[in-house]
Every structure is written in C-alpha cells, then in structure tokens.
Amino acid sequence: MKTKVLQIVIGLLLISSLVLTGCSSQPAVSNAPAEPAGDAAAAPTEAPAAVEPTAVPAAAEPAAEEAAPAVDFEAALASLEGQVFSTGPNGETPTAASEITLTDEELAQIKDMNATAAIVLHYAGNDWSNAQIEGLKYQFEKMGIEVVAVTDAGFKTEKQVADLETVLAKQPDIIVSIPTDPVATSNAYLQAAEQGVQLVFMDNVAADLVQGEDYVSVVSADNYGNGVASAHLMAKYIGGKGKIGIVYHEADFFVTRQRYEAFKKTIEENYPEIEIVVEQGIAGPDFAGDGEKAASAMLTKYADLAGIWGVWDVPAEGILAASRAMGREDLVITTIDLGLNVAVDIASGGPVKGLGAQRPFDQGVTEAILAGYGLLGKPAPAYVALSALPVTPENVLEAWDMVYHQAAPEALTSAMGE
C-alpha cells in the first residue's frame, strides 16, 4: 500500500516537472520576433534617404538661416575705412585724393600765372556747399589764385546756365562746378571749355564732355560707400529687422543715384528681415519740406515703420520734422552728409542715429589742386574720390573736425553735454 502511494506521488511530481518545463520554454518562443525587431531598429540608418519626415533638413533650412550669425555691424562699418567703392560717372576707376599733389616748383609756376577762378554751384547755403567753398578758397589762396565769383543756382538748370554765361564774361582761367542737370547744362560747359577755361567738376560731369580735352577731372566723395554705411547703420539701430522707407532724389543726378542704389542693395543683400515697404522721390528745391511731406505720408500709411532713410541731410531734416510732429521719436533715421542739424540730433540721442559723411573741405582742396594741373598741362586722373566716413554718437565730434577742419560749434558740443 505504501509502495503504491509512493509511486503515485512520484508520478505526480514527474508530470508537474514536465508541465513547468513546458511553461519555462515559452519565452524562447516569444522572443522569436526579436529578429524582425532588430531589423526594424536598423532600418532608420538607411531610411532617411527614403523617408521624408526624417529627412526634413530641406524644411529646416529657414531655421538654419535664422541660426546663422547676424551681420557684424561694427565690422561692416570698419571695413569701409580707407576704401572707395564708387566708380566715376562714366565708370572710371577711382584715384585716391592723397595722390593729387603739386611740387614746390609747380606751385611757384602757378603763382606766377596770377590766375583767376570761379565757383559755380548747383545750390549753396548748406553745410556741404559752404565747406566745399572754404576748401577751394583755402587752396586757391595758397596757389595765388583769385576767386572772382561764387554762384548759387538754387538747383535750377536755367539759373545755372545763366550763371555760367555771367561768369564767362569775367574770363576766369578756372571754373569749378557741379552741374544741376548734366544734359541741359552741357552746351554752357562746352562753351567754357572752348574758351580755354580749365574745368574741374564736383561729383558729376556734364554730358558729352571729354576728360583731358574739355575738362581736367571730377572729384567726388565715395557716395556709394556712404550709401553702404548708412544702410549698415540703419540695420544696426533697428536691430536687423523691420519695415523701412526710402526718400530718394528724383533727378538725373549721378551721386545721389549712387547713394540710393548702394543703400537699397546693401539692405536687400545683407538683411533679409528688413523690408523696404515704401519709396518716395523728391525733386526740390524745397528738399526739407518735400522730405517732411514724404515722411508724413509714409508714417501715416505704415504705422509700424521702423526707419526712414534720407538721401542727404536736408531731406533728412524734413523726415526728422515729420517724426516729431507725429510723435514718432522711436523712428530711426539715417542719411548722408554731416550737416549741423542732423549732427546735433545724433549727439542728443534723437531719431537721427547715424550717417555716412562726405569730406567736402578736402574735396574742395583736391579740386583746386587739380585746377592747377590744368593750368600746367599736367596729366590728371579722370576720377578722384575720398573715402566714406561713418558717423555715430560715439564719433560725431571727431568726425566734425575731420569733415570741416574746425572745432565743433557750440550747438553740437552742448548737445553732447560738453
């Protein structure tokens, strides 16, 4: 009996062990799908080429652009130093003003000529014109040349033609001039050339005149470079993004066209988050008034306008007046030419944040020396240029001295708190 019971117990134990062995072997079977799982894990190493969602770098490109380093404003401005980016009115390669010199012997020869000169301006009374005249008179005096006339055409072509006729009656040996309109004034300048007058042009050249035959040379600031400088300054002070407007010179005027083209191209090629939403041309002669009207219309239509560029300081004064009248002291204004009014606004932290400056006194000195080349029959380069000068609140006093060769006026030093 005991033996039977023992046999039954042993049998039950054997059956139980078999059942347990079968259960413990199931994981090995359930792991069989592990191989496909392994293949699926490996699949993504090849899939990006075929699976678009993981290969979205194409869609991620905008993010890459946003992450790209912003333009270094200071480096961009510093790169302008000593460089000239403009070409002459007829595509001439620029010669540096520092290369235009007279020897002591040449200076003595010119003094012995007792020559006379006339200065025939497009319009006068602004800081740029005054500095040009000062530079010319300073150098002519050193050369023993008497200035017999200075005229102001008020930016009217017919007036300038009449001015040239009046001046020619004085039989000057030299005329230094800037044409109001290169085509409409051409015959008057040709008449001067035919009379044997040594013509030196500021900034622009009358049409159909040949350098070396009809005129000595043309001298200009780097207007393209100044346009570039004013664009980088605009971008800097609006933080590299926003909507802006442009007030340009609506005339066939070489240097103002260069400024406009340089400003616009620099913004479009370097600052994708800045949008030029409005442009307005002005023809003068009331450039400040026209600038104010243009800016007022822009600010009325685009309440979110971050900045407005003015083609030179006088239109920029009008833009400044509009910004104040409309309570837009936050508006950023940049321009070209270091006039006193815009300089004071820069110094006092107003809407005018910066500008590209010409060097009109030095330009006048260079024009006078080139007139001496003409008297001597000395070959002259076709186009002479002076580099751009970026001006900000940090260097406005120093820039004034560089541009005008005189100490800053009290209005400017007071605005700086000095």
- pLDDT tens profile 39-68: 333 333 232 232 222 222 222 333 334 433
pLDDT at 30: 35
pLDDT at 72: 86
Give the pLDDT band (50/70/90) at residue 123. confident
- pLDDT tens profile 238-269: 999 999 999 999 988 888 999 999 999 999 99
Q: What average pLDDT does this structure show over 373-401?
A: 96
Structure-model confidence comparison of residues 330 and 11, the more confident one? 330
Rg of the chain over Cα atoms, rounded to whole angstroms, equals 37
The span from the CA of 60 to the CA of 265, in Å, is: 27
State the CB neighbour count (10 A cutoff) for residue 242. 18
Give the pLDDT band (50/70/90) at residue 82. confident
CA distance to 126, 362, 415, per residue, from 111 (Å): 31, 21, 44
* Spatial strand order in the sheet of 389-391: 274-282, 242-249, 305-310, 332-336, 352-357, 389-391
pLDDT at 252: 83
Q: What average pLDDT does this structure show over 300-307?
A: 97
- pLDDT tens profile 340-352: 999 999 999 999 9
- pLDDT tens profile 189-203: 999 999 999 999 999
Q: By C-alpha distance, which of 262, 255, 229, 258 is closest to 390?
A: 229
Give the pLDDT band (50/70/90) at residue 70. low
pLDDT at 78: 87
Tokens linked to 308: 């407005």
26 burial type by CB count under 10 A (0-12 exposed, 13-18 middle, 19+ buried)? exposed
Residue 279 in contact with residue 217, Cβ under 8 Å?
no
Q: What average pLDDT does this structure show over 213-237?
A: 96
**319-336: b or e for each residue (b if 16 or more CB lie within 10 Å)?**
bbbbbeeeebeebbbbbb
Number of H helices and number of E strands within the chain? 17, 13
The span from the CA of 80 to the CA of 39, in Å, is: 60
The span from the CA of 143 to the CA of 161, in Å, is: 28
- Amino acid in the structure at residue 271: Y
List helix spans (H) across 206-359.
223-237, 254-270, 287-301, 313-325, 340-347
- Cβ neighbors of 284 (< 8 A, separation 6 or more) are 155, 251, 290
